[in-house]
């Protein structure tokens, strides 16, 4: 059975927090389709990545309930891992399209597009304190990214992310795709603090692209058959 690398993606400056991610480097060992969905549901991470070709960067992303064409924290985490275990590819290939990626000091970056993460509600609140006080999840249906300015001049934002898919993921600790959508809407670079203490950096790029970057930590390597 292939090994599972468990990462934390978009860690804070002290290396804590970040969104847990499962990465199966030997993706072909797990059959596409229902088998991968079953594995992702059993693992229970907000996303699990199956690497189908490390050299060319072909990846397959699953939540516990759906397959995703694009997601930020899985691609940042997978890029970081491949750069340490292989000559990491300069472009990752999820179903949505080519995603350039690079390392810059302690940060791993990808470049994506807001239209690859549709149907996400960006809801602004009056203050960071109001965002902090939201129930988990807030009432309603559909993906909610709750945000408020901490320092508008400096581009610092407080956020929380609620998938509201009914698959056991109540709140995402750090969400790269939603950060891309918010950056595209605000049209400026952001320093996002999400969840309990994660940090996401973003900046608008050319041709409606957005760059998103963060720190990644390896939590453990274990058998794919072991539960969380």
> Dihedral of CA 112/115/116/121: which sign?
positive
Domain count within the chain = 2
The 3-state DSSP class for residue 37 equals helix
Note the pLDDT of residue 227.
59
- Dist CA 225 CA 52 (whole Å): 19
Note the pLDDT of residue 86.
77
For residue 63, the domain's CATH number is 3.10.310.10
Note the pLDDT of residue 228.
56
Note the pLDDT of residue 226.
66
- Beta-carbon contacts of 137 under 8 Å, excluding residues fewer than 6 positions away, are 144, 162, 163, 164, 170, 171
Residue 43 falls inside a structural domain: yes
With beta carbons less than 8 A apart as the criterion, state whether 69 and 116 touch.
Answer: yes
Q: What is the DSSP letter of 84?
A: H
Residue 105 falls inside a structural domain: no
Residue 103 falls inside a structural domain: no
**Is residue 92 located within the same domain as residue 125?**
no
With beta carbons less than 8 A apart as the criterion, state whether 90 and 121 touch.
Answer: no
Q: Which domain holds residue 11?
A: 3-98+215-223
**Is residue 27 located within the same domain as residue 80?**
yes
Q: What is the mean pLDDT of each run of 10 residues along the chain (228 residues)?
A: 94 97 96 92 96 96 96 98 90 98 97 96 98 97 97 98 93 98 97 97 95 98 79
The 3-state DSSP class for residue 166 equals coil
Residue 106 falls inside a structural domain: no
């Amino acid at each position: 059975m292939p090994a599972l690398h468990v990462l934390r993606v978009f860690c804070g400056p002290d290396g804590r927090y970040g969104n847990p991610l499962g990465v199966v480097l030997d993706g072909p060992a797990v059959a596409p389709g229902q088998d991968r969905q079953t594995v992702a549901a059993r693992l229970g991470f907000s996303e699990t990545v199956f690497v189908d070709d490390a050299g060319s960067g072909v990846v397959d992303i699953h939540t516990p309930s759906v397959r995703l064409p694009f997601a930020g924290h899985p691609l940042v985490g997978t890029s970081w891992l491949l750069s340490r275990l292989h000559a990491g590819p300069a472009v990752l290939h999820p179903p949505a399209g080519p995603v350039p990626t690079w390392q810059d000091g302690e940060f791993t970056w990808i470049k994506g597009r807001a239209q690859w993460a549709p149907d996400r509600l960006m809801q602004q609140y009056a203050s960071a304190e109001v965002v902090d006080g939201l129930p988990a999840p807030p009432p309603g249906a559909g993906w909610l990214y709750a945000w408020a300015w901490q320092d508008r001049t400096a581009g610092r934002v407080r956020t929380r992310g609620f998938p509201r898919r009914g698959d056991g993921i109540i709140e995402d600790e750090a969400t790269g795709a939603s950060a891309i959508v918010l950056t595209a809407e605000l049209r400026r670079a952001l320093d996002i603090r999400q969840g309990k203490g994660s940090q996401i950096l973003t900046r608008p790029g050319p041709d409606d692209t957005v760059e998103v970057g963060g720190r990644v930590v390896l939590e453990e390597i274990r058998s794919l058959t072991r539960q969380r």
